[in-house]
């Protein structure tokens, strides 16, 4: 069934209630998907930043002499 994409929401609902129901289901699924992506992004960004910071510091720490004063000087 071809639908004019330029029809308003009210016009689509008046012409075919089944199509309007499908549109509402798709809208609901898209909203749920975007909520999940937003939550995952809020969760992963701080973890990624900490991972990169620790990786950077561990690379610097590996190059220091742990028996000498240079290690304690950097930490102070």
Q: Residue 18: inside a domain, yes or no?
A: no
What range does the domain containing 55 cover?
43-76
Q: Residue 3: inside a domain, yes or no?
A: no
- pTM for this prediction: 0.53
Q: Residue 7: inside a domain, yes or no?
A: no
What is the Cα–Cα distance from 30 to 24, expressed in whole angstroms?
10
Distances (CA, A) of 59 to 54, 63, 64: 8, 7, 9
Backbone φ and ψ for 68, nearest 5 degrees, come out as: -95, -175
Buried residues in 3-24 as b, exposed as e (16+ CB within 10 A)? eeeeeeeeebeeeeeeeeeeee
DSSP 6: T
| pLDDT, tens digit only, all 76 positions of the chain | 455 655 565 655 567 899 999 999 999 999 999 999 999 999 999 999 999 998 888 766 666 655 555 555 555 4
Q: Residue 21: inside a domain, yes or no?
A: no
């Amino acid at each position: 069934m071809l639908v004019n994409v330029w029809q308003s929401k009210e016009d689509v609902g008046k012409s075919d209630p089944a199509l309007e129901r499908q549109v509402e289901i798709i809208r609901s699924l898209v909203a749920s998907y975007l909520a999940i992506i937003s939550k995952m992004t809020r969760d992963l960004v701080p973890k990624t930043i900490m991972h990169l910071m620790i990786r950077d510091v561990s690379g610097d720490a590996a190059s220091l002499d742990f028996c000498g004063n240079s290690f304690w000087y950097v930490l102070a």
